[in-house]
Amino acid sequence: MRISTSWGAQQAVNQMLDRQYQLSQTQLALGNGKAIQTPSDNPAAAARAVDVSSASAQNDQYTRNINSATTRLSTEETALTSAGNILDRIRSITLEGVNGTQTDESRQSIATELRQTLNQLVALGNSKDGQGEYIFAGSRTTTQPFTIDGLSVSYGGDQTQRMVAAAAGLQVATGDSGDDVFMSIRGGNGTFVTTAGATNTGSAVVGGTSVTDATQWDGGNYTVNFTSATTYEIHDAADPTGTPLSTGTYTGTSGTISFKGAQLNVTGTPAAGDSFSVGPSSSQDVFSTIAGIINAFEAPGGGAAMNNQVNAQLQNLDQAATSLLNTRTKIGARMNTLDQQSDIGSDVKLSYDSTLSDLTELDYASAASKYTQQQTALDAAQQAYVKMQNLSLFNYLK
Amino acid sequence: MADLLSTGVSGLLASQVGLSTVGHNISNVNTAGYTRQTTTFNARTPEYNGGYYVGQGADAVSVQRAYSQFLTQSMWSANSGQSRASQYATLTASVNNIVSGSANLQTALDGFFGAVSDVANAPVDTASRQALLGKASTLVSTFKSLSSQFQQLDQSTNTQISTAVDSINALTKTISDLNGQIQQGYAGGAVPNDLLDSRDQAISQLSQLVGVNVTQNDNHMVTVTVGNGLSLVNGTDSAKLSTAPNQYDSSRLEVTGPGGSVISSQLGSGSLGATFDFRTNVLDPARNQLGRAAIAMTDAFNQQHAQGIDLNGDAGGNFFTIANPAVFNSTANKGTGSIAATVSDVSRLDASDYVMRFDGTNWSATTTAGVTVPMTGTGTATDPFKVGGLSMVVSAGAVAGDSFQIQATRNAASSMSVAISDTNKIAASGPLAATKGSANTGKATLGGLTVTNVADPAFNTPASIVFTSPTTYTINGVGPNTYADGDTITGNGWTLKLSGVPAANDTFTVKPAGTASGDNGNALALANVASKGVLDNGVTTVGKSYSQLIAQVGTAGAQANTALDAQQSILDQATAAQQSLSGVNMDEEAANLLRFQQAYSASAQVITTANTIFQSLLSAVHG
Q: Are B343 and B410 in contact (CB under 8 A)?
A: no
pLDDT at B623 over 80: no
Rounded to an integer, what distance in angstroms lies between the CA atom of residue B404 and that of residue B424?
43
CA A126 from centroid of its chain's CA atoms: 17
Specify which of A329-338, B440-449, B450-459 reaches the highest per-range mean pLDDT: A329-338
- The CA distance from B598 to B14, in Å, is 12
The C-alpha of B261 sits at a distance from chain A's nearest C-alpha, in angstroms, of 36
Q: Which amino acid is at B226?
A: V
Region B37-46: mean pLDDT is 93
Q: What is the mean pLDDT of residues B578-600?
A: 93
Chain A nearest CA to B74, separation (Å): 17
The ranges assigned to domains in chain A are 53-187+317-348, 193-280
Burial A230-243 (b: 16+ CB within 10 A, else e): eebbbbeeeeeeee
Which chain B residues touch A168 with a CB distance below 8 Å? Answer: 531
Distance CA A353, CA B108 (A): 19
Query: How many CB atoms within 10 Å of residue B177?
Result: 16
Q: Share the mean pLDDT of chain B.
A: 90
- CB of A341 closer than 8 Å to CB of A170: yes
Answer with the residue of higher pLDDT: A346 or A270. A346
Whether B533 contacts B539, CB under 8 Å: yes
pLDDT of residue B312: 86
Query: What pLDDT is recorded for position A301?
Result: 78
Most A CBs within 10 Å, among B119, B441, B467, to test the A interface = B441
- The mean pLDDT of B561-587, rounded to a whole number, is 93
Class of domain A53-187+317-348 (CATH, top level): mainly alpha
Quick one: A103 exposed, middle or buried, by C-beta within 10 A (0-12, 13-18, 19+)?
Answer: exposed
A14 contacts in B (CB within 8 Å)?
Answer: 572
Chain B contacts of A159, Cβ < 8 Å?
433-436, 446
Q: For chain B, give the percent of residues with pLDDT over 70.
A: 99
Confidence band of B516 (pLDDT split at 50, 70, 90): low
CA distance A4 to chain B (A): 4
* B364-421 pLDDT, tens digit each: 999 888 899 999 998 899 999 999 889 999 998 889 999 999 999 998 999 999 999 9
Cβ atoms within 10 Å of A354's Cβ, excluding its own: 11
Q: Is the pLDDT of residue B260 over 70?
A: yes
Measured distance CA(B544)–CA(A50) in Å, rounded? 8
pLDDT digits (tens, 9 = 90+) for B146-160: 999 999 999 999 999
Q: Is B389 helix (H, G, I), strand (E, B) or coil?
A: coil
- Whether the upstream peptide bond of residue B457 has omega within 30° of 0, thus cis, is no
Instruction: State mean pLDDT over B598-616.
Output: 93
Q: Which of A7, A21, A37, A40 to mutate to test the interface with B (most CBs of B within 10 A)?
A: A40
Q: Band of the pLDDT at A198, cuts 50, 70, 90?
A: confident
pTM for this entry? 0.86
Top residue of B515, B519, B541 to mutate, by most chain A CBs within 10 Å, is: B519
Alpha helices by DSSP H, chain A = 5-32, 43-98, 104-125, 178, 286-298, 303-360, 364-390
Task: Establish how many alpha carbons lie within 13 A of residue A190's alpha carbon, considering only the half-sphere containing its beta carbon.
Answer: 10
Q: What is the mean pLDDT of chain A?
A: 88
pLDDT of residue B103: 65
pLDDT of B485 higher than 90: no
Nearest to B575 by CA among B193, B199, B208: B208
- pLDDT for residue B203 is more than 60: yes
Indicate the residue of A54, A61, A219 with minimum beta-carbon distance to B441: A219
What are the tens digits of pLDDT across the range A59-106?
A: 999 999 999 999 999 999 999 999 999 999 999 999 988 887 888 888
B248 touches B262 (CB < 8 A): no
pLDDT score for B456: 81
- Largest Cα–Cα separation, chain B: 164
- Can you give the pLDDT at residue B17? 95
**Does B121 sit within 8 Å of A68, measured CB to CB?**
yes
Can you tell me the mean pLDDT for B10-34? 94
Q: Is A239 on the interface with B (CB under 8 A)?
A: no
- Cα gap B443→B467, rounded to integer Å: 12
Look at A42-46, A187-191, A360-364, B10-14 and tell me which has the smallest mean pLDDT. Answer: A187-191
Q: Which pLDDT band, with edges at 50, 70 and 90, does B1 fall under?
A: very low
Q: Which residues pair with B222 in a beta bridge?
A: B216
User: What are φ and ψ of residue B464, in 5° steps?
Assistant: -110, 115
